[in-house]
Amino acid sequence: MEEIYEISLLLDFYGQLLTEKEYVMLDLHYNNDFSLSEIAENMNISRQGVYDNIRRGKKNLAELENKLGLVRKFSEQKKAMKDILQELKEFDCSKLESKDKARLKNIYENLTLLIEKL
């Protein structure tokens, strides 16, 4: 399950840098749950051809991530936002004035929306 999530995320970030065949096959296999045989049948190639393209595409995605690190940076930023959100949840608002409570609530809600959109 984790591999599916990881490949899907890598495809979101780097998919357009792959060949069209690699992208389509990885997308069908990981995002649409097609078997290698189903992809082979749809694309009129051998199952081995599908396997080779998927393997090559995964290798290319890994190389791109190693060079650019966009998924790693994205994950770190998302975690940092969640940590900030947790700090806001634990913040003691009892001594704040009502306008400051409203501002803090607004910050919390905006940060929550930002995280959900990621």
Mean per-residue pLDDT pooled into runs of 10, the chain (118 residues): 93 97 97 96 96 98 98 94 90 84 89 87
Rounded distance between C-alpha atoms, residue 54 and residue 48, angstroms: 10
Q: For position 98, what pLDDT does the model report?
A: 87
Q: Are 40 and 46 in contact (CB under 8 A)?
A: yes
Q: For position 105, what pLDDT does the model report?
A: 87
- CATH, domain range 2-68: 1.10.10.10
Taking every pair of C-alpha atoms in the chain, what is the biggest distance, in angstroms?
69
List pLDDT tens digits, range 25-39. 999 999 999 999 999
Q: For position 82, what pLDDT does the model report?
A: 93
CB atoms under 10 Å from CB of 45, counted, come to: 15
For residue 63, which of 28, 20, 106, 14 has the smallest C-alpha distance?
A: 14
Q: Are 58 and 3 in contact (CB under 8 A)?
A: no
Q: Are 22 and 63 in contact (CB under 8 A)?
A: no
For residue 93, which of 79, 107, 80 has the smallest C-alpha distance?
A: 107
